[in-house]
Amino acid sequence: MHRKPNITASKIPEVCHVAILRRPYVDMILRGEKTIESRLTVRPLPPYRAIEPGQRICIKISSGPYAAEAVATKVVFYDGLTPARVEQLRRQYQRHVGGDDDYWRAKANVRYATFITLGQVRASTLGPPIRSSGLAWFVLDDLSPRGAVKSHHALDATALASQRVIWSAGAIRNRYLRLPVELRRRIAADRPLLLTLPDGKTVSTRLLDNGMIQWRQWGPVFAAQGIAPGAAMRLDMLEPNRLRLTMENDRLGGDAP
């Protein structure tokens, strides 16, 4: 028996997304012919469980510029899919998604699906700098005004959840860390949050309502690690309410926040 769809209702406006589409689909969105963006995957890749109503989507043409912007007005997730269930979804969503028969045939054996109703669509050439890395969807958090790109590969397979983010000049200057939304959902805010730092030291902190970690000693950590804008870090959830922060050697290029 397949599970019922899960519809997310809360809003976290500081999170935005980058969706990469082929030009014909972007044109359909701008003409109002395509009102739902679908992502069907074998593995649970973004935007599955990574987007909520009210969040902004910057729409970029594949191998081209940004061309549109929209807001997610409704989000529906499915998992445990079978070919028969995918066919049911095709009949349910085809008129709004606009995928052709080849698209749906290619998706017959997926296990996960996300359907995003698009609202407030407008043409826009603005969007954050990204490195595609072969991905077609990016989740960005407001570690800086333009966001920090989070890659969803090369993460710790032993962790309950992992996220890779980029330190921005604003985060370093103001000495804060705001958790990505995917990790926030897994943390009980009424319990202490244990954070293991790059030097192996573990400190007891708390998660605030705005997603920031309540801890005032980021300055010494930045200095000890030589953290500069564009530095990459990985957050691994080792167990509920316990995170490990690991600095990485690679950095984004000149367009990094």
Q: Each residue of 125-172: pLDDT tens digit?
A: 888 777 655 678 888 764 333 333 443 333 333 445 677 777 777 888
State the pLDDT at residue 228.
78
Percent of the chain having pLDDT more than 90? 34
| DSSP symbols for the chain | -PPPPEE-----TT-EEEEEE-HHHHHHHHHTS--EEEEEESS--TTTTT--TT-EEEEEETTS-EEEEEEEEEEEEE-S--HHHHHHHHHHHHHHH---HHHHHHTTT-SEEEEEEEEEEEE---------TT-SEEEEETTSTT-EEE--SS--TTSSEEEEEE--HHHHHHT--B--HHHHTTS-TTS-EEEE-TTS-EEEE-B-TTSBB--S-HHHHHHHHT--TTEEEEEEEEETTEEEEEEEEEE--TT--
Over residues 16-36, the mean pLDDT reads 94
pLDDT reading at 253 higher than 80: no
State the pLDDT at residue 143.
37
Over residues 188-206, the mean pLDDT reads 87
State the pLDDT at residue 43.
86
State the pLDDT at residue 129.
77
pLDDT reading at 115 higher than 90: yes
On average, the pLDDT of the chain sits at: 79
Percent of the chain having pLDDT more than 70? 81
pLDDT reading at 35 higher than 90: yes
Confidence of residue 110 (pLDDT cuts 50, 70, 90): very high
Over residues 199-206, the mean pLDDT reads 88
State the pLDDT at residue 160.
57
Q: Which of 35-39, 174-178, 247-251 has the lowest mean pLDDT?
A: 247-251
State the pLDDT at residue 109.
94
Identity (one letter) of the amino acid at 10? S
Looking at per-residue confidence, does 176 or 39 come out higher?
39
pLDDT reading at 10 higher than 70: no
Contacts of 115 (CB under 8 A, 6+ apart): 36, 37, 38, 75, 76, 78, 89, 93, 97
Confidence of residue 71 (pLDDT cuts 50, 70, 90): very high
> Is the model's pTM score more than 0.75?
no
